[in-house]
Structures are given as structure tokens and as C-alpha cells.
Chain A
Amino acid sequence: MLKQIEKILLKVQKPARYVGGEWNIIRKNWAETAVKVVFAFPDVYEIGMSHLGLQILYHIVNSRDDALMERVFAPWPDMEEMMRKHKIPLYSLESYRPVRDFDLFAFTLQSEMTYTNVLNMLDLAGLPLSSAERKDEDPLVIAGGPCACNPEPLADFIDLFVLGEGEEVIQELLDLYSLMSREGYSRRQFLYRAAKIAGIYVPSFYLVSYRPDGRIEAVKPVQDDLPARVTRRVVTNFDQISYPTRFIVPGIEIVHDRVMLEIMRGCAHGCRFCQAGIIYRPVREKTPATLLSQAEKLVYSTGYDEISLISLSSADYSRIKEVARLLLDRFEKQGVNVSLPSLRADTFSVALAQEVQRVRRAGLTFAPEAGSQRLRKVINKGITEEDLLGAVSSAFKAGWSAVKLYFMLGLPTETEEDVIEIARLAYRVLRVGIDQKISSARLKVTVSVSSFVPKAHTVFQWEPQGEVAVLRQRQKGLREKLKGRNLVFRWSEPEMSFIEAVLARGDRRLGRVIEEAWREGCRFDGWSEYFLYERWCNAFQRVGLDPAFYANRRYDYDEVLPWEHLNFGVSKDFLRREVELALKGQQTPTCQREKCAGCGLCPAFGVIPEIIASEVNEVAVRNPEVINGSF
């Protein structure tokens, strides 16, 4: 197979994407391994290889004696063309075997805009798209990741979804598969037993009925012994959770080309538009001792010269300063840097960045999300203008000369005034730079705007998305106001956000639209150069569905949501209460520092936030001998 592949490689861009052979890959004996899994990332190699979940699952599955995991990514359109022309099926990068030969074909769904790629990969693998048409000997097609929290638009194509964190449930699923493959099983029998594992959702076992107005009437399991609502998985004792000691190190440059050290999972801020803030609850931190030992192994098994402290909001990790210091003390002399990918807009975060980041490259990024204080309160973004200006001021003092500000257009209750405030804020930030005498040649304030997309399970899940025309017009207004020197304006296409919103809040009927769009040639929809809006519109028309019904409609509090039968732990009452507070402009404190915000998740799942800030702990962690000796 490799021979065949090599014949076409010099005809495509970046052939290294398609040959594997990277440092730390694992090739197991095919014949002697019972369960073969191929991890599929439905986007280009450089993005897929930057995904922490891939490294974690690769490690977990390959640590089992009875299972192996290999990788496959979406071929870029030039490679797809060559593969189709030369009849090369989708193949894995470890053993160059056709994906069809595996037992499990496991997708991660990081963005709705990869759905056509999922279909394309099924097709390139030579498999029927529809789950109902696949045979016993075909691989089981499974999918997880954040978009699996409303997987309905893909319900026809995927055999089972994994809801929530995968570390433990993947083991249970493989145990079951291994057992049943020894006993001989039918596809349906396996799915039926898998559906009883917590966190596993088999869409074909749930029937959806619709009301005459197009909304959902009910979602019901086909058999009484299946759960009416499938609950997502949460791992506990996060500090001790299995974490790779080796990462695959690609030869070509990828997006996150460094050691990713996950210091915390979950985020306590409760921004009302944010899906990650809900689906990764509660906050769980690792101890400094664990982090230091993981960093030690990872730096020398990969050879990377940078450790990135990963989480949704790293400055909120309770002992961030201590951990940063420990890592710097250990690795600075070895030429290894520490970096923080997600900063809050406040002086604490900037001071932290200043301490750890020796190189002032790329500028600092802050996300005020909304221009006015009023709107920031609506979305529960707890930063004030003083916070931001203070942060920017410290950043300029510390030697950065470029800052990037992220905003969202079309947030609930947004008015033109709020948009004008974005421009005003940008000018105030610029003013700070000028006052601090940053040379005009280097001073740069980038304003980057995207459009609000209502997402499943969030406080704003019922809210409509602004119409494309309105979003465009607000964007244009803002662009005109931001034409000054040293200002850069960047925006994302509202049409892309529109399709994203449709898929994010969609139901199963959309499967036909996705299939139609794919047949029309849609691929890599998240890449503006490949995004074909017209073809999507045609697809909706042909199937006879109105995209506005999903994106621009206010969903009713009482209606059955397409994801109603998927339990992500946060209670509906809490979300409704939050919408009311949002409309009144009232904020809800973070659940980490202040107090529990009462979202209902912890009692429902029997978990608690795992916060490691305590003095005793600190001593225990640093000097275990001292503690032992003193007792």
C-alpha cells in the first residue's frame, strides 16, 4: 500500500501529512491484537495532530494489550483527488491499512464545520454513509468530542456516540467489544449492550417524532430497558487520571507544536454563551507534583522546547504561579519555555505571562467578547474596562507592543450602541499604547470579531442567532470605524457562523442536508477558501428544510430540544434562571472561588470540584519526607 501511496505523494502539497513515521508512534502486531481502532480527525493533519484528546486516547488504547489505535486525518482536497483517481482507499498512518479493515472507526467532532469531512472520510474508506446500510463486517463508526453534545445531525451516519470525557468509557467500550468479539456477535447485539453503558448513545435506538409545526414532539428509546436520557461521563480524581508520557512528535510544523500539559479541566466562569464551560464541568485541577513529573517525562520523550499549560482558563488554576515557577526552575536552563495559551484580561494574568514568557512574541490576546459593560454583564463575562485597560497597560510596560482583542457580534440583546463600544474600547486600548510611548512602527491593536452561535446545553441555547444581513451590516459598521493607523480588523464570515448555528442546534432531519451538501462538493467548511455557501443553501432547498428555523428562531422554553434526551448535568431550571439574570444584566459568580452557583451538576453526577489549593497540600507536595517525619 505504501508503495502505491508514494506514487502520488510528490503531486500533493506537504506529503509528510500522509506518511506517518513520526517519533513516538506505536505500531502493534496486527494479527495478535484483538481490537483495532482507528482514530479519525476530520480536518487536516496539522490541526488534528495538535489535538490533546488524540494524544490521550492514543496512549490509553495502545496501553492495552488487547487493543491498538492508529490514526487517520482528512486528506486535503489535492490529496483526495489523487486518492480517488488512483483508487487508494482511506488508510491509517501507522500500518497503511485501509480504514475498512479496522474494528472501530472513531471520529472526534471538534467543530460542526467538519461534518462534511466526516462523510467524505466514510466514503473514502469505501463504507456506506448510512449506519443502517453498514454490514456486520464493516467497522463500527463511533464519534465523541464536544459536538457530540448535540450529535443529532449526524445520527444517521454514526453507530454510536460517546458523551463526555472519554478516558474511562473508552475502556468499558473496548472491554465489551473484546468480550463480544470472542463470543461472536451481531452489530445490533453489540450496540444494544453498548447502549447500556453510561455515556454511550446509540441514535438508532431512539425514535424522534415531530409536531406539525416542525418542532420535536418526543424522543423515545425503542425499548423500555434503554435509558430515556443518556448521561455524559465525567472523570473524577483528575489528578491521577491516565495521561500520556509520550506524545507523537510530527516532523512537519503543526498548530500546537509543543508539550501540552493539561493542568486543569473545566472552567468556573460560567460565560453564558460558552459550551465548553458547561460540558467540562466541574473544575478539576492537578497537583503541582503530578504536573512536574508529567512535564519531566514529556520534555525528554518529545524533545520539545516549550511546555504549554493547557486548560480553558489557565490563570484560574489555583496554584498557577507556583507551578509556573517550578517548571521554570526545572527547565529554564535547558532552554525550555513555558507558555500560557489562555489569559484572562487582567493584570494578574499579564504579570504571570511576563514572568513565564521570555520571548515577547506574537503579542497578547484578550477576549472581552463584548464592547460594553452592559453586554458583558449579560453574557456573564466578569471583566471590566478597567481590568482590560490595566492588563493592556501592563502588557505594554512589560514589552509587548501588539495586543489582540476578541469580540462576538450578535450576542443576545446587542444593539448598535454595543457595537460602537467595541470601536471605542479598541481606541482606548490604542491610546494606552500611545501614552506608553510604544513606537508607532510596532504598536498594533487587532480587533477580531466572530458571530455569536447559540449552542446546545448553554444558557443561550434558546436564543436566536442574528440574521446574516444584520451581522454583515454590524461588521461593516465596525470595520469603517476601525480604519485608523495601528488598528487591524479581522472578521469571520457570518454565513459560516450561520451554517454552524444550524448544525449546532439541529435535529436528525439535517442529516440529509449534510449528505446533499457533501455530494455537491462541500468539504473543509471551516476553511473560508473551501466554504461554499451557495451549495449549502441549495442543499437545504432540495431537502426542503429552512435553515432559519434552526439558526434564527427563538426556541421555546417548553419545546423538546433536539438534545433534550442527552443529559449533560446542568439543570434546565438553572439555565432558565440564568437567562433571566442575563436579561436583567445580573452576573453569576464563578463556582470555583466564591461559591457554588447551583447548576445542579455536582449533586446530579455525585462529583465535586477538585481544587488543590491548600497549605497542607503544598507542604505535602513539596516535601513528603518532612510530613512523614513530623507525624
Chain B
Amino acid sequence: MEVFSPVLPQKPVNVFWRYRLQFSKMGLACYLSHHDLIRTFTRAIRRARLPVALTQGFNPHLDLSYGPPLPVGIAGEKEYLDLNLIRALSPASICSLLNKVLPEGLRVNKAWLMPKRSKDSSSLVTLICQATYLARIPLAEEIEAVELANYIRDFLAADEIVILRLIKPKKKSKEKEEKEKKQNIRPGIFSLKGQVKAKEMLLEMKLSLGSKGNVRPEQVLRVFLANFPAQVDLAEVKIIRTELGPPELLTP
């Protein structure tokens, strides 16, 4: 297998091969923050000796770009990362080189060589505007499937679901107090489906993500579970982000 070292280009390199990596961040890796994830990938790439380009300047570093951060505690099944190489490698070998050196819970599922950068090849953060989450919710007592279906129907029937958000004052601003802000999250809930299995409830929700309205799964769950017939401890709920999308825009 070909193995290269990351090389600091003598002259700025204009020719890159741009790859998109789809990876999963499951199990123990869900406790890593986005910063931890970036550090971990950066180190894994050095361990794999991929022929990456380093940025020019005072403190050369890897030029990687990621999709929207996952909050600590939420796992991700199909997350994305863009990477530039200065020599072409087959997508399959990128996956296998990286998977040999990634810690538990992180795994590259697929890689694609992306078309040469053109005006409309936007970054992952601008492309991604929705996310699907699966929440596994342990229940203290069993509930009927019909009961859940009705509850969901009523929940979605509302035109407005208003939550209060505490806004921390900006560092330099004169105001010291946290302010409450109202937000209607209903338009950002694209779908919500539920299922009960013994003493566990599975909720799948497709939510808006990014600058055009951001709804976080915990926000939905908090409202959803507030009047729920069975008691639930939010800290024991396991959430997985199963998909980022629209998926068809993310892969070539």
C-alpha cells in the first residue's frame, strides 16, 4: 500500500485532490466535543501518513473542513469531513488507512473524490440544512402504541411550539443578566415519528439545522416530554444523529 508523509509544500500548492469523507462517531466517541474531534482527526491523519497539504504561514496546520458540530453526548452515524490531498489516493485506501489509526467509536465509512473546486462547490456547513435524530428513551412504565401515536399527533398539531432560550450576554456587552428569548420551533420540526418497544421509546425526528433556523433535539424532547404520561430522565436519553442532509447534495 502506498504510504506518504504529510509534506509542507515549498511553494503554495494549487493542485489538490479534494475528498469528502463520511464517518461515524458512535459509542465512546460521542463524548468528544467538536474540538476534540478535530484534534483527533488531525492526529489520525498524521498517524496514517496521508499526503495532506499543510496551510502556509506561521503555524502550518491541516486544512480540514467539517460539517455542523455534534453536541457532546450525541452520536453521529453519517457525519462529514472534507480533506485536501496533494497526491491522489483511491477513496478505498483513504478509508482503510484512516480506519487503522482511528480511536474507538470513530470510523470512516466512505470517501469520495470530489469534482475540482468550482464556484458552486460550497462548504459542508452551508450545504447542510437538516438533520435526522433517533432518540432512545427509557421509560419507567410501558405505554401503548396508540397512546404514543395520539400524543405525537397532538404534539404536531400545534402551529406554534414556543420555547424559552436563555441568551448569555456577549462578553463585551454592558448587560450582565441572561435574557430570555422566545423561539417558535414548530417550523423547524420537519417530521416526528415514534415507536414503543417494551420499556423503551424510539423517536425519530427530522429537524432544521444551520443558519436558517436551528432546532436542537434536546429542545424538542424537553417540550415533548414535559406532559408525557411516563416519567423520563433526559440525561438517560441516548440520541444519535442518523443523517445530515439533504443527503443527495452531499455526495457526488
A318 CB–B CB distance under 8 Å = no
Note all chain A residues with C-beta closer than 8 A to B37: 251
* Stretch in B41-49, B187-195, B219-227 with 4+ CB within 8 Å of A: B41-49
- How far does the Cβ of A28 sit from chain B's closest Cβ, in whole Å? 16
B8, A21: Cβ atoms closer than 8 Å: no
B31, A15: Cβ atoms closer than 8 Å: yes
- Taking a contact as CB atoms closer than 8 A, the residue among A7, A11, A251, A333 that contacts B29 in the complex is A251
Closest A residue to B52 by CB, please name it. Answer: A335
* Stretch in A296-304, A409-417, A582-590 with 4+ CB within 8 Å of B: A296-304
Note all chain A residues with C-beta closer than 8 A to B36: 16, 251-253
A16, B32: Cβ atoms closer than 8 Å: yes
Interface string of A247-264 (1 = CB under 8 A from B): 001011100000000000
Give residues of chain A (8-55) contacting chain B, Cβ–Cβ below 8 Å. 8-11, 15-16, 19-23
Closest A residue to B104 by CB, please name it. Answer: A21
- How far does the Cβ of A81 sit from chain B's closest Cβ, in whole Å? 14
Note all chain B residues with C-beta closer than 8 A to A302: 43, 47
A385 CB–B CB distance under 8 Å = no
Instruction: Name, among A9, A15, A21, the residue most crowded by chain B CB atoms within 10 Å (CB to CB).
Output: A21
B28, A334: Cβ atoms closer than 8 Å: no
Note all chain A residues with C-beta closer than 8 A to B49: 300
Interface string of A227-259 (1 = CB under 8 A from B): 000000000000000000000010111000000
B5 CB–A CB distance under 8 Å = yes
B54 CB–A CB distance under 8 Å = yes
Contact-size category for B? 35 or more
B42, A252: Cβ atoms closer than 8 Å: no
- Taking a contact as CB atoms closer than 8 A, the residue among A15, A21, A300 that contacts B47 in the complex is A300
- How far does the Cβ of B23 sit from chain A's closest Cβ, in whole Å? 14
Interface string of B83-118 (1 = CB under 8 A from A): 000000000000000000111110000000000000
- Taking a contact as CB atoms closer than 8 A, the residue among B8, B35, B102 that contacts A333 in the complex is B8
B27 CB–A CB distance under 8 Å = yes
- How far does the Cβ of A128 sit from chain B's closest Cβ, in whole Å? 33
A305 CB–B CB distance under 8 Å = yes
Closest B residue to A19 by CB, please name it. Answer: B28
- How far does the Cβ of A410 sit from chain B's closest Cβ, in whole Å? 38
Q: Classify the interface of chain B: helix, strand, loop or mixed.
A: mixed
Give residues of chain B (53-92) contacting chain A, Cβ–Cβ below 8 Å. 54, 58-62, 72-73
B29, A21: Cβ atoms closer than 8 Å: yes
B33 CB–A CB distance under 8 Å = yes
Closest A residue to B35 by CB, please name it. Answer: A253
B184 CB–A CB distance under 8 Å = no
A387 CB–B CB distance under 8 Å = no
B43, A359: Cβ atoms closer than 8 Å: no
Give residues of chain A (257-311) contacting chain B, Cβ–Cβ below 8 Å. 299-305
A167 CB–B CB distance under 8 Å = no
B231 CB–A CB distance under 8 Å = no
Give residues of chain B (1-52) contacting chain A, Cβ–Cβ below 8 Å. 5-8, 27-29, 31-33, 35-37, 39-40, 42-47, 49
Cα separation A301 to B27 with both chains bound (whole Å): 23
A23, B43: Cβ atoms closer than 8 Å: yes
Cα separation A269 to B32 with both chains bound (whole Å): 43
A335, B39: Cβ atoms closer than 8 Å: no
B43, A335: Cβ atoms closer than 8 Å: no
B28, A20: Cβ atoms closer than 8 Å: yes
B248 CB–A CB distance under 8 Å = no
Closest A residue to B72 by CB, please name it. Answer: A15
Note all chain A residues with C-beta closer than 8 A to B47: 23, 300-303
Note all chain B residues with C-beta closer than 8 A to A16: 31-33, 36, 72
Note all chain B residues with C-beta closer than 8 A to A251: 29, 31-32, 36-37, 39-40, 103
A156 CB–B CB distance under 8 Å = no
Given contacts A299-B46, A333-B8, contact A252 B32 (CB under 8 A): yes
Given contacts A253-B35, A305-B42, contact A359 B235 (CB under 8 A): no
B154 CB–A CB distance under 8 Å = no
- Taking a contact as CB atoms closer than 8 A, the residue among B31, B39, B58 that contacts A358 in the complex is B58
Cα separation A9 to B30 with both chains bound (whole Å): 11
A304, B43: Cβ atoms closer than 8 Å: yes
A303, B104: Cβ atoms closer than 8 Å: no
A467 CB–B CB distance under 8 Å = no
A80 CB–B CB distance under 8 Å = no
Note all chain A residues with C-beta closer than 8 A to B103: 21-23, 249, 251
Closest A residue to B138 by CB, please name it. Answer: A7
A332 CB–B CB distance under 8 Å = yes
- Taking a contact as CB atoms closer than 8 A, the residue among B28, B43, B73, B235 that contacts A21 in the complex is B28
- How far does the Cβ of A299 sit from chain B's closest Cβ, in whole Å? 7
- How far does the Cβ of B230 sit from chain A's closest Cβ, in whole Å? 17
Note all chain B residues with C-beta closer than 8 A to A253: 35-36, 39
Cα separation A249 to B105 with both chains bound (whole Å): 15
Cα separation A335 to B49 with both chains bound (whole Å): 12
Cα separation A332 to B8 with both chains bound (whole Å): 8
B236, A359: Cβ atoms closer than 8 Å: no
A7, B42: Cβ atoms closer than 8 Å: no
Note all chain A residues with C-beta closer than 8 A to B29: 21, 251
17 contacts between A and B (CB under 8 A): A8-B235, A9-B31, A11-B235, A19-B31, A21-B104, A23-B43, A23-B47, A251-B29, A251-B39, A253-B36, A302-B47, A303-B47, A304-B46, A305-B43, A335-B60, A359-B58, A359-B59
Other contacts beyond A16-B32, A251-B36, A332-B8: 14, CB < 8 A: A11-B235, A19-B31, A21-B27, A21-B29, A251-B103, A252-B32, A300-B47, A303-B47, A305-B42, A305-B43, A305-B46, A333-B7, A334-B8, A358-B58
| 4 residue pairs, one from A and one from B, having the closest CB atoms | A303-B43, A21-B28, A303-B46, A21-B104
